Amino acid sequence: MRRVPEVIDCWFDSGAMTWAQWHYPFENLDLFPRMFPVDYITEAIDQTRGWFYTLLAIGTLIFGRSPFENCLVLGHVQDKDGQKMSKSLRNYPDVFEVFDRDGADAMRWFLMSSPILRGGNLVVTEGGIRDGVRQVMIPLWNAWHFFALYANAAGGGKGYAATASTASTDLLDRYLLAKLREFVEAMTAQLDSYDIAAACDTMRSFLDVLTNWYIRRSRDRFWDSDNSLDASTTAAFDTLYTALEVLTRAVAPLLPLTTEEIWRGLTGGRSVHLEDWPDAAALPAGLADHHHQRQRPQGAGQVLEQPVQVLPGRRHGHRQPLGPTAPGGLVE
């Protein structure tokens, strides 16, 4: 056997990844300049002295600059005893049991909204996953069910086919649309800068505006008691439709399955993930954030005390509403 006198550290291979994957400079001379540097890299915090360092050191040595624009540093996922979860220890729950019980979006939200996205450690608990379901996913789903129920029942049961509109002059409608614009602007900036945890916080804040401030204070406008579908009622439907449609497009990267169900139910379209990112400039601006000076509604929490059931056999315009429960046992 021939002996090799010198062996370079194996981390050199990973450190050369950003150009070695293109076999540069021996191939892809035209392609490589468009691919370098990469937009972002991500790994756990223990790669600070490993992959992160070798990428930076070798890239700077050869190209005179960092081979990556952004570095997302993740913390460690730990078990209930504070020990790092690993395949060798098998100290982690069966992920398919979590999916069946809480849904894949619930697990995704739990991870993305946690300290792990800011380099902190995370202890995985069933209660933590369920908190995300209770605080975010159920209010979002109930807002959609609220809309579907009343839109189906409007006009004496004939239904009202809402459309996207920002034309309402009602104060609460203008307030919601202004907050919707702020929400899209914040989400755009945060996701563009890879600040996913901050985007999750923004989502929570807007859900509070939508459910506890807009829907709770506008409910009487959605009840078409005389079947007249007057201007106030149609404006409320169109405004809530607009908010839900824009919201689902903006949150689709965070809750891909839940937003897909809601968006398809709203629009009848193929997939929210094939749509363009919302344009904040298309939404009205203005209205100071005055709702915090007003008394918080008593018992503010979810939109409804019980999940709304969509009327069987009814349609929102020509759109078939979804069934009464969300995927993954979301509504119990």
Tens digits of residue pLDDT in 106-130: 888 888 888 888 777 777 777 778 8
- Poorest-confidence range of 81-95, 177-191, 275-289? 81-95
Question: Which percentage of the chain shows pLDDT scores above 70?
Answer: 84
Question: Does residue 299 sit in the same domain as residue 180?
Answer: yes
Question: Does residue 106 sit in the same domain as residue 182?
Answer: no
Question: Does residue 109 sit in the same domain as residue 159?
Answer: no
Tens digits of residue pLDDT in 240-252: 999 999 999 999 9
Residue 331 lies in a domain: no
Written as six digits, the tokens of 244 are: 């839900």
Looking at 118, 147, 166, the residue that finishes a domain is: 118
**CATH number of the domain that residue 269 is part of:** 1.10.730.10
Question: Does residue 106 sit in the same domain as residue 150?
Answer: no
Question: Which percentage of the chain shows pLDDT scores above 90?
Answer: 45
Question: Does residue 103 sit in the same domain as residue 251?
Answer: no
Question: Does residue 190 sit in the same domain as residue 313?
Answer: yes
Looking at 59, 94, 118, the residue that finishes a domain is: 118
Residue 192 lies in a domain: yes
Confirm if 104 and 256 have CB atoms less than 8 A apart: no
**How are the residues of the chain apportioned to helix, strand and coil, as percentages rounded to the nearest 5?**
50, 5, 40
Residue 288 lies in a domain: yes
Tell me what pLDDT residue 309 has. 32
Question: Does residue 153 sit in the same domain as residue 240?
Answer: yes
Confirm if 252 and 180 have CB atoms less than 8 A apart: no
Looking at 95, 118, 141, the residue that finishes a domain is: 118
Residue 44 lies in a domain: yes
Tens digits of residue pLDDT in 197-229: 999 999 999 999 999 999 999 988 988 777 778
Tell me what pLDDT residue 287 has. 61
User: Is 70 exceeded by the pLDDT of residue 135?
Assistant: yes
Into how many domains does the chain fold? Answer: 2
Average pLDDT in the chain: 81
Average pLDDT over residues 72-88: 77
Residue 124 lies in a domain: no
Predicted model pTM: 0.78
Question: Does residue 157 sit in the same domain as residue 279?
Answer: yes
Residue 123 lies in a domain: no
- Poorest-confidence range of 56-70, 220-234, 274-288, 291-305? 291-305
Written as six digits, the tokens of 150 are: 């009343």
Question: Does residue 70 sit in the same domain as residue 162?
Answer: no
Give the torsion sign (CA, 307, 138, 213, 182).
negative
Tens digits of residue pLDDT in 261-274: 999 999 999 999 99
Residue 147's CB is within 10 A of a number of other CB atoms, namely 26
User: Is 80 exceeded by the pLDDT of residue 313?
Assistant: no
Question: Does residue 287 sit in the same domain as residue 212?
Answer: yes
Question: Does residue 203 sit in the same domain as residue 155?
Answer: yes
Residue 292 lies in a domain: yes
Buried-state track 153-171, b at ≥16 Cβ within 10 A, e below 16:
bbeeeebbebeeebebeee
Tell me what pLDDT residue 6 has. 74
Which domain, by its residues, includes 172?
A: 133-326
Question: Does residue 138 sit in the same domain as residue 111?
Answer: no
Residue 5 lies in a domain: no
User: Is 70 exceeded by the pLDDT of residue 67?
Assistant: yes
